[in-house]
């Protein structure tokens, strides 16, 4: 089966990109730059009316698959031998716990308030408050993540590298990008991120997107 992943460099689509490489899937990449506004243009909306990345086009399916958690689970299940989605019920639930929380709360709400306050309020007078609130809740989330990872578990879900890890890496990059002092604030997470970044699939995906995990250039306004 062949897939096409629509991605924007450094966006959450990076997690899907990494997982496609990890499992050894046959896939094509289509660049749709969020920064250039390509996701809101008519040609792209005809492919994904949600106007977001990543959608995954799947051979034989008339409609693209959207929502990163669904894509990660779908790809992992297509390649069960990779155990990127763990087999045990509790471990699987822990893996889904990470990806749903990051997607629904940290990405959509926290970074949404920071980077896209206009989504939460059309009144520009509210945007400064939303941006500040976004930074506050992101800081809380980072502390929460660090507290979990500091128990010596080695990976996001104790027991092995799973689909949660690339998503945790995306969040690590974004946190660097908004100027969070990640190595001092989140040492265990920093260690995990460098371990993930050393994997050949991750090296290839980062090189392909032309990015690093340090994301040294601090841009507080958008990905």
Ligand X SMILES: N[C@@H](CCC(=O)N[C@@H](CS)C(=O)NCC(=O)O)C(=O)O
Tell me the pairing of strands 56-58 and 26-31: unpaired
Q: Give 50 or 153: the residue with its C-beta nearer to ligand X.
A: 50
Q: Which residues are near ligand X by CB under 6 A?
A: 11-12, 34, 39-40, 51-53, 66-68, 103, 108, 116, 223
Min separation Cβ 105 and ligand X, Å: 11
Min separation Cβ 108 and ligand X, Å: 6
Residue 188 · residue 146 · CB < 8 Å: yes
18-29 residues labelled b (16+ CB within 10 A) or e (exposed): bbbbbbeeebee
Q: Give 47 or 188: the residue with its C-beta nearer to ligand X.
A: 47
Q: Give 188 or 208: the residue with its C-beta nearer to ligand X.
A: 208
C-alpha 54/C-alpha 7 separation (Å) is 6
Min separation Cβ 66 and ligand X, Å: 6
For 56, the enclosing helix (H) or strand (E) is: strand 56-58
Min separation Cβ 173 and ligand X, Å: 11
Q: Does residue 4 come out as left (phi exceeding 0), alpha (psi in the -120 to 50 range) or beta?
A: beta
CA separation (Å) from 80 to 21, 163, 182, 199?
A: 14, 12, 33, 19
Q: Give 40 or 129: the residue with its C-beta nearer to ligand X.
A: 40
Min separation Cβ 155 and ligand X, Å: 21
C-alpha 23/C-alpha 99 separation (Å) is 18
Residue nearest ligand X by beta-carbon distance: 52
Min separation Cβ 192 and ligand X, Å: 21
Q: Give 2 or 40: the residue with its C-beta nearer to ligand X.
A: 40
Residue 54 · residue 12 · CB < 8 Å: yes
Q: Give 44 or 161: the residue with its C-beta nearer to ligand X.
A: 44
CA angle 222, 210, 12 (to 5 degrees): 45
Neighbouring-strand partners of residue 69: none
């Amino acid at each position: 089966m062949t897939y096409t992943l629509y991605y924007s460099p450094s966006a959450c689509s990076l997690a899907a990109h990494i997982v496609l490489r990890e499992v050894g899937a046959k896939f094509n990449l289509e660049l749709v730059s969020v920064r250039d506004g390509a996701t809101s243009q008519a040609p792209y909306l005809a492919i994904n009316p949600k106007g977001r990345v990543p959608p995954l086009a799947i051979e034989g399916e008339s409609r693209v698959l959207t929502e990163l958690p669904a894509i990660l689970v779908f790809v992992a299940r297509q390649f069960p031998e990779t155990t990127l989605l763990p087999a045990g019920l509790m471990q699987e639930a822990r893996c889904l716990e990470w990806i749903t929380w990051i997607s629904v709360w940290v990405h959509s709400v926290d970074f949404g308030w920071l980077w896209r306050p206009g989504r939460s309020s059309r009144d520009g007078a509210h945007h400064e408050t939303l941006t500040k609130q976004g930074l506050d809740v992101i800081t809380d989330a980072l502390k929460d993540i660090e507290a979990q990872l500091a128990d010596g578990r080695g990976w996001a879900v104790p027991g092995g590298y799973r689909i949660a890890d690339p998503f945790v890496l995306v969040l690590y990059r974004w946190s660097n990008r908004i100027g969070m002092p990640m190595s001092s604030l989140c040492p265990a997470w920093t260690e995990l991120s460098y371990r993930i970044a050393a994997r050949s699939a991750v090296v290839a995906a980062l090189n392909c997107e032309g990015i690093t995990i340090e994301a040294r250039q601090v841009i507080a306004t958008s990905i």
